[in-house]
């Protein structure tokens, strides 16, 4: 047999080395970073959202979702880092970040670096982010000027776009279309407590539709006609009501709006609720009324009104054990078995003093006929 030339040996070694490097690359998990398909608007890992989600042997189609700006990178990184430490490092649920502008590479790289979970970036469709077709630009500008000094974000057009989007469009984004549940998250918030279980699974196992942590009172000037507009929808659409409703949390026995609402910067929701024909009908009714722009109807009072009217009390859950702070309010569990998992020291006791929290415990469901009677009562 002829001797192998040195040149052939070097070539053989080079081929073997390249094959080895390729094998290492194939086995290294880069599904949430470089192995992706990039389009101008969306970063998509290799696998569809629903198929990326595994939790304790279950395949819950769920994700943590944020509407966020490029400028909020540091605040969003802080939030995700806490969620990873407190909960998601054990479950690996994906994160979905949405923006009305293209995300920068700096933002994408910054978010990928704080989690091993799948990460998605999406741009909002232009038809979901803009002036409602039911209002006029001139009247909107007049309303912004009138409300500028009356309350927070009184003169903000972009804030109203956000509230309308969160009320009627976020769950329609393509990146959420295969999800059954979503957990809304925001930048610059704090999660005080370890979460030793899966809230998504808890929602599913207990047939819960809506979960929250904080329930304040909405400023009256921002929702001056929300209940008036809502009761018209109730009377026009009685078939959408269940036999029982938790409406007494948001409207008292004299048909007066309590302005109680679930603070939607934290909400865990069965998305079949937002996708339902009843909720879509309600949102369209509100949109036609123009209150997102002419007043400042927030997604929190809208979600809360819809949930209280269309759901029963037992379908709504207070996540008392999840300590949480968003600028403005905070909640820290005070029960010893809950507080032992938290670092807030029990000083953030807003929810235990909250009128709306007390009311949540005191009132119950009422029958559909009583809901219609409330809606038909004369204006006070």
Which of these is catalytic: 72, 218, 267, 295? 267
Buried/exposed 318-350: b ≥16 CB within 10 Å, e otherwise: bbebbbbbbeebbbbbbeeebbebbebeeebeb
Six token digits for residue 337: 């078995």
Contact partners, residue 229, CB within 8 Å, separation at least 6: 285, 286, 289, 291
Question: CB under 8 Å to 21, separation ≥6 — which residues?
Answer: none
- Count of C-beta atoms within a 10 Å radius of residue 77: 17
Sign of CA dihedral 274, 261, 195, 82: positive
Q: Could you tell me if 171 and 274 are in contact, meaning their C-beta atoms sit under 8 angstroms apart?
A: yes
Pull the structure tokens for residue 132.
Answer: 């409602």
Active site residue 267: yes
The span from the CA of 139 to the CA of 284, in Å, is 19
- The pair phi, psi for residue 176, each rounded to 5°, is -105, 0
Pick from 239, 234, 259, 229: nearest CA to 371: 234
| Cα angle 221-233-294, degrees, rounded to a multiple of 5 | 30
Write the CB contacts of 52 (distance below 8 Å, at least 6 apart in sequence).
Answer: 31, 45, 92, 94, 118
Name the DSSP class of 50. G
Beta-carbon contacts of 302 under 8 Å, excluding residues fewer than 6 positions away, are: 163, 167, 226, 283, 286
Active site residues: 267
């Amino acid at each position: 047999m002829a001797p192998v030339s040195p040149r052939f040996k070097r070539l053989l070694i080079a081929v073997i080395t390249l094959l080895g490097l390729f094998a290492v690359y194939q086995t290294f998990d880069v599904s949430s970073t470089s192995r992706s398909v990039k389009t101008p608007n969306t970063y998509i890992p290799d696998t569809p959202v629903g198929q990326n989600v595994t939790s304790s042997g279950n395949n819950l189609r769920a994700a943590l979702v944020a509407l966020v700006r490029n400028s909020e990178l540091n605040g969003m990184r802080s939030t995700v880092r806490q969620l990873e430490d407190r909960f998601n490092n054990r479950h690996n649920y994906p994160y979905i970040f949405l923006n009305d502008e293209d995300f920068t590479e700096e933002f994408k790289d910054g978010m990928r670096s704080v989690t091993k979970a799948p990460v998605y970036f999406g741009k909002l469709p232009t038809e979901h982010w803009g002036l409602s077709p039911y209002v006029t630009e001139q009247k909107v500008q007049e309303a912004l000027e009138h409300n500028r000094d009356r309350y927070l974000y009184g003169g903000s057009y972009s804030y109203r776009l956000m509230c309308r989007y969160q009320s009627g469009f976020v769950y329609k984004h393509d990146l959420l279309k295969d999800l059954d549940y979503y957990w809304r998250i925001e930048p610059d918030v704090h999660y005080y407590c370890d979460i030793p279980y899966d809230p998504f699974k808890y929602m599913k196992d207990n047939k819960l539709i809506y979960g929250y942590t904080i329930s304040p009172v909405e400023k009256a000037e921002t929702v001056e006609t929300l209940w008036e507009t809502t009761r018209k929808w109730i009377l026009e659409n009685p078939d959408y009501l269940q036999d029982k409703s938790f409406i007494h949390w948001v409207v008292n026995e004299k048909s007066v709006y309590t302005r109680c609402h679930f603070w939607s910067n934290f909400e865990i929701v069965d998305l079949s609720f937002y996708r339902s024909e009843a909720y879509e009908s309600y949102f369209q009714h509100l949109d036609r009324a123009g209150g997102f722009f002419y007043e400042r109807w927030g997604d929190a009072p809208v979600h809360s009104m819809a949930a209280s009217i269309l759901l029963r009390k037992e379908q709504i859950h207070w996540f008392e054990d999840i300590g949480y702070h968003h600028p403005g309010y905070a909640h820290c569990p005070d029960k010893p078995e809950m507080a032992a998992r938290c670092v807030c020291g029990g000083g953030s006791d807003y929810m235990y003093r909250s009128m709306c929290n007390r009311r949540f415990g005191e009132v119950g469901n009422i029958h559909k006929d009583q809901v219609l009677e409330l809606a038909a009562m004369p204006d006070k």
